[in-house]
Amino acid sequence: MLPVAELHLHIEGTLEPELLVTLAARNGVPLPTTDLGELRARYRFASLRSFLDLYYESMRVLRTEQDFYDLASAYLTRAKAAGVRRAEIFFDPQSHTGAGVPIEAVFTGLSAALADDDTGISADLVMCFLRDLGPDAAMDTLEAALPFREKFIGVGLDSTEIGYPPALFRDVYRRAAAEGLRLVAHAAEEGPPDYVTEALDVLGAERIDHGVRSMEDPSLVARLRDERVPLTVCPLSNVALRVVPTMRAHMLPAMLDAGLMVTVNSDDPAYFCGYVDDNFAAVREEFGLPDETLAGLARNSFAASFAPDLDKQKWKAEVDAWLTGRDGHDRMS
Ligand code: ADE
Ligand code: ZN
């Protein structure tokens, strides 16, 4: 299995129907159905907004510290099987506190699962602000999270994109930077390429989540290439949310041809039919990517991670060993 870092993964997006039903029963939260097939059949989306509606509704089953612990533990177990060595895990505290869950339950449950984990995965938490709740709510969330400062390493920006440009969040990102937090932001998933420029120049984002619509602006592409800005691309998500009509139409090959620092990630794997290994398999099969290219994507993921340099070197050596071990092997094995 190719060793990778997963840099774009929403922990709430790992809520598989089985755990959804278990948590709903545990917490007495009504569901429209408890039939796993029927639940999965609802996972068809016309857009980011239509996905988010179901996503926020489903996460109502997460109520207690134990629920967040179980969610993160289940992800780490699955991630281990996907070859993940390093995970920088997004979570959305506002979608829980808005439903009456104390922020402490979110932080303590998730961080305890990471601390107790025995998969060997190096993992850290990145707290995301819901952009459609606006900058004041984001600042309040950062303030509420600071008592748990040692439990997260960075901040991100997610949820509905269009109409909520990154620049709105300048002050909260400035505050986060002053606290020593790492900075990332979703941009140009559904929104225009300008949002990437704003995320870089106004927020100081160190990585761009998605960024696929950057390809519409050649001068931005040149900048991203020259500055080696990491882009956390999520191919199965882009197909599921109709950012692209089909995998064949995905811009990943063009991004690679343009020399961009691309990484491959899963976003919300329980909803988009695939964990990070499935995303790698999908692009390998669709575009016939050679092992050298897959190894390059994996190396990019470690280089773009916020892990210590010594760990990065160790993981990159594992990628080299994977590539050497693949010499002469059937590419599909
Ligand atoms: N939250 C979870 N998944 C997301 C995505 N793909 N875009 C924006 N916000 C999200
Ligand atoms: Zn995302």
Which one-letter DSSP state was computed for residue 211? -
Q: At which residue do the structure tokens 């092992």 appear?
A: 291
Please pick, among 189, 190, 198, 286, the residue that the annotation labels catalytic: 189
Name the helix (H) or strand (E) containing 264: strand 261-264
d(CA 261, CA 306): 15
Q: Which of 6, 10, 59, 271 to mutate to test the pocket of ligand 1 (most atoms within 8 A of CB)?
A: 10
Q: Tell me the residue ranges of DSSP E strands in 174-234.
A: 182-187, 207-210, 230-233
Rounded to the nearest whole angstrom, what is the distance from the C-alpha of residue 272 to the centroid of ligand 2? Answer: 12
Dist CA 305 CA 301 (whole Å)? 6
Nearest CA to ligand 1 atom 1: 159
* Contact yes or no for 103/144 (Cβ under 8 A): yes
- Has 286 been annotated as catalytic? no
Per-residue confidence in pLDDT tens, the chain, 333 aa: 999 999 999 999 999 999 999 999 999 999 999 999 999 999 999 999 999 999 999 999 999 999 999 999 999 999 999 999 999 999 999 999 999 999 999 999 999 999 999 999 999 999 999 999 999 999 999 999 999 999 999 999 999 999 999 999 999 999 999 999 999 999 999 999 999 999 999 999 999 999 999 999 999 999 999 999 999 999 999 999 999 999 999 999 999 999 999 999 999 999 998 999 999 999 999 999 999 999 999 999 999 999 999 999 999 999 999 999 987 554 444
User: What Å distances lie between residue 2 and 7, 47, 285, 291, CA to CA?
Assistant: 15, 31, 15, 10
pTM confidence score = 0.97
CA of 176 to the centre of ligand 1 (A): 21
Taken in order of first residue, the domains within the chain and their CATH numbers are 4-324 (3.20.20.140)
Q: What is the rounded end-to-end Cα distance, in angstroms, of the chain? A: 9
